[in-house]
Amino acid sequence: MADDIDIDVDDLERRMDGALASLRQEFLTLRTGRASASMLEPVMVDAYGALTPVNQVATVNVPEPRLIAVNVWDKGMVGKVEKAIRESGLGINPVVDGTIIRLPIPELNEERRRELSKVAGTYAENARIAVRNVRRDGMDQIKKAKADGMGEDDQKFWETAVQELTDKGIAKVDAALESKQEEIMQV
């Protein structure tokens, strides 16, 4: 193999791992019937004229497996935080108690579990597409290097390396999806 060939496999692997990290982050926002502070990450509050994440205007705790407690720092913001949570589409009904907003997490019914499982599948497919796009970039690098004088043996070696990396990335995505769907369907 020629050492002067510029195929950055580490960069490709880092980008594929980035797609997996993004997938895991998206999975955290899916409600599984258990309380998780990360469920409130996408909720934005209209605080002081700007959209602000809930965790920047309140403390989010999970005191029980089926309850989230949001302790709002500014008494005047309680109504806005409650409104933001109600309108977030999480399907959670906030209960206000002074500056503390309690979010009881209801049991998921079978239909909602199947819906969430499909959403998880969509997230996973987007991650697979991202991994395949990184593979395509790697293959384009190899084609360019071949045009610049890379030998056929080297080309085959690098194509195999990129394909193995892709297969590993897709297997990780599939494993994460299977784990999340198991968690969602667990009663």
Q: Computed from CA positions of residues 178, 128, 12, 17, in that sequence, does the dihedral angle turn out positive or negative?
A: negative
On whether the CB atoms of residues 129 and 23 are closer than 8 A, the answer is no
Query: For 126-140, what is the mean pLDDT?
Result: 95
pLDDT digits (tens, 9 = 90+) for 22-56: 998 888 777 666 778 888 888 899 988 899 999 89
0.75 surpassed by pTM: no
Residues 59, 71 contacting (CB under 8 angstroms): yes
* CA distances in angstroms from 140 to 6, 10, 64, 156, 164, listed in the order given: 12, 16, 51, 13, 16
Q: What ranges do the domains of the chain cover?
A: 9-28+109-185, 37-104
CATH number of the domain at 37-104, out of 3.40.800.10, 1.25.40.10, 3.20.20.150, 3.30.1360.40?
A: 3.30.1360.40
Q: Where are the alpha helices (DSSP H) in 59-148?
A: 78-86, 110-147
For the structural domain made of 9-28+109-185, what CATH number should be given?
1.10.132.20
Residue type, 133: N
